[in-house]
Amino acid sequence: MEANDLPILRYLYRHARPRRHLEFGTWEGRGALGCLQECDATVWSLNLREGETNEEGRWAYDAWLDEAEFAPGNSIFTRTARNGRTVVRTDALGAIGRLVHEHGLGHRFCQIYCDSRQWDSSNLPDGFFDSALIDGGHTEDVVTSDTLNALRLVRTGGLIMWHDYCPDVTAQQSCSSIRGVVDAIHQLAPVIRRHCGDWFWIEPSWILLGVRNDREYER
Ligand SMILES: C[S@@+](CC[C@H](N)C(=O)[O-])C[C@H]1O[C@@H](n2cnc3c(N)ncnc32)[C@H](O)[C@@H]1O
C-alpha cells in the first residue's frame, strides 16, 4: 500500500480535495494521513477496537517491537512475547491511527471503534461524505456492508475507492483479501452500476474507483 498505491490515493485526494472523507479500516492511519496531508479534509475512520484476528486465530497485524518504528517501552501498544521477543499488535487500540496523531493532525480525525458491520451511521445524512475508501475487513460480507454504507453516504460526484481490488487471476489466486473484494464487487455490480455508472480499475494498482453519478442513480 505505502510503496505502490498510497501515492495514487494521495494524487486523488490532492486533486479531488474532499472536505469530508470516510475510511473503512484505519490500521495505523497511513491512508488517513495521506488524505489529511494532501487536502484540508476532516477524516472519519473505523477500525475494530481490539484488532483483526486471522483464520488461524492469530493477530492479523503485528510487528516486532525492536524492529518496528515504535518507541521501546511505549505502553500504548497491546503486546505479547513470541520466541523471546516482544510483538506488538499494530491494529488495536492505542496503535490505531497513531501516525495521524504523531503528525499532529488529530484535530481533523474522527475515530470510530467497532466492527464496521455494526456501525450505526443512521445519524449521518445521505451524501454526507465527499469520498470514501473501503479498506477494512476483506471478507465478502464486510466489503459488501462497507460498500452499501459508502454508496449511501458519498455525495453525487464524490469518489468511492476500494483497496485490494485486482482483476488479475494470478493475483486473486495468491491473495485471499483480493478474492473477498472481487467477489463482493461482482455480487454488488448491479447496485454499484446504478449508483456510479462506470467504475475503473487503476491498472496496475489494487485500487478500484467509482464516481457517484446522480444521473445513473435516478434512472
Ligand atoms: C488493510 S488494513 C487498513 C489499512 C489502512 N486503510 C491504511 O491505509 O493504512 C485493514 C484494517 O481493517 C481493520 N478491520 C478488519 N476487519 C474490520 C471490520 N469488520 N470492521 C472494522 N475494521 C476492520 C483491521 O483491524 C485493519 O486495521
Mean pLDDT for the chain overall: 92
**Using a 6 Å cutoff on CB, does residue 135 contact ligand 1?**
yes
Region 101-127 average pLDDT: 97
Q: How far is the CA of 219 from the centre of ligand 1 (A)?
A: 34
| Of 22, 45, 47, 54, best ligand 1 pocket probe by most atoms within 8 Å of the beta carbon | 47
- The dihedrals phi and psi of 152, each to the nearest 5 degrees, come to -80, -40
Using CA atoms, how far residue 5 sits from 12, 137, 151, in Å, is 11, 18, 22
Question: Are 121 and 170 found together in one domain?
Answer: yes
- Cα of first residue to Cα of last residue in the chain, in angstroms, is 36
Question: Are 179 and 101 found together in one domain?
Answer: yes
Specify the pLDDT at position 29: 97
Specify the pLDDT at position 219: 45
Residue at 1 is within a domain: no
Question: Are 66 and 100 found together in one domain?
Answer: no
Q: How far is the CA of 108 from the centre of ligand 1 (A)?
A: 19
Residue at 123 is within a domain: yes
Residue at 152 is within a domain: yes
What's the pLDDT band for 205 if we cut at 50, 70, 90? very high
- From 36, 67, 90, give the residue that closes a domain: 90
Cell numbers at 43, concatenated: 477524516
Specify the pLDDT at position 71: 59
Q: Cβ–Cβ contacts within 10 Å for residue 6, how many? A: 16
CATH number (domain holding residue 147): 3.40.50.150
Specify the pLDDT at position 66: 79
**Using a 6 Å cutoff on CB, does residue 13 contact ligand 1?**
no
- From 62, 90, 118, give the residue that closes a domain: 90
Question: Are 105 and 76 found together in one domain?
Answer: no
Domain around 16: 6-49+96-218
Region 83-103 average pLDDT: 92
Residue at 122 is within a domain: yes
Question: Are 201 and 150 found together in one domain?
Answer: yes
Reply yes or no on whether the pLDDT at 145 is more than 80. Answer: yes
Specify the pLDDT at position 143: 98
The pairing of strands 207-211 and 199-201 is: antiparallel
Q: Lowest mean pLDDT: which of 43-52, 143-152, 196-205?
A: 196-205
d(CA 170, CA 106): 39
Specify the pLDDT at position 207: 97
Higher-pLDDT residue of 63 and 131 is 131
Number of domains, the chain: 2
Residue at 35 is within a domain: yes
**Using a 6 Å cutoff on CB, does residue 30 contact ligand 1?**
yes
Specify the pLDDT at position 81: 86
Highest-confidence range of 35-49, 86-100, 190-204, by mean pLDDT?
Answer: 35-49
**Using a 6 Å cutoff on CB, does residue 139 contact ligand 1?**
no
Rounded percentage of the chain residues whose pLDDT exceeds 70? 92
- Among 18, 96, 98, smallest CA distance to 60 is for 96
Q: How far is the CA of 218 from the centre of ligand 1 (A)?
A: 32
Question: Are 174 and 138 found together in one domain?
Answer: yes
- pLDDT tens, residue by residue, 27-76: 999 999 999 999 999 999 999 999 999 988 999 999 888 776 665 556 67
Question: Are 42 and 60 found together in one domain?
Answer: no
| Of 1, 21, 38, 52, best ligand 1 pocket probe by most atoms within 8 Å of the beta carbon | 52
Reply yes or no on whether the pLDDT at 182 is more than 50. Answer: yes
Q: How far is the CA of 90 from the centre of ligand 1 (A)?
A: 11
Reply yes or no on whether the pLDDT at 130 is more than 60. Answer: yes
Helices (H), ranges, 6-156: 6-16, 30-38, 98-102, 140-153
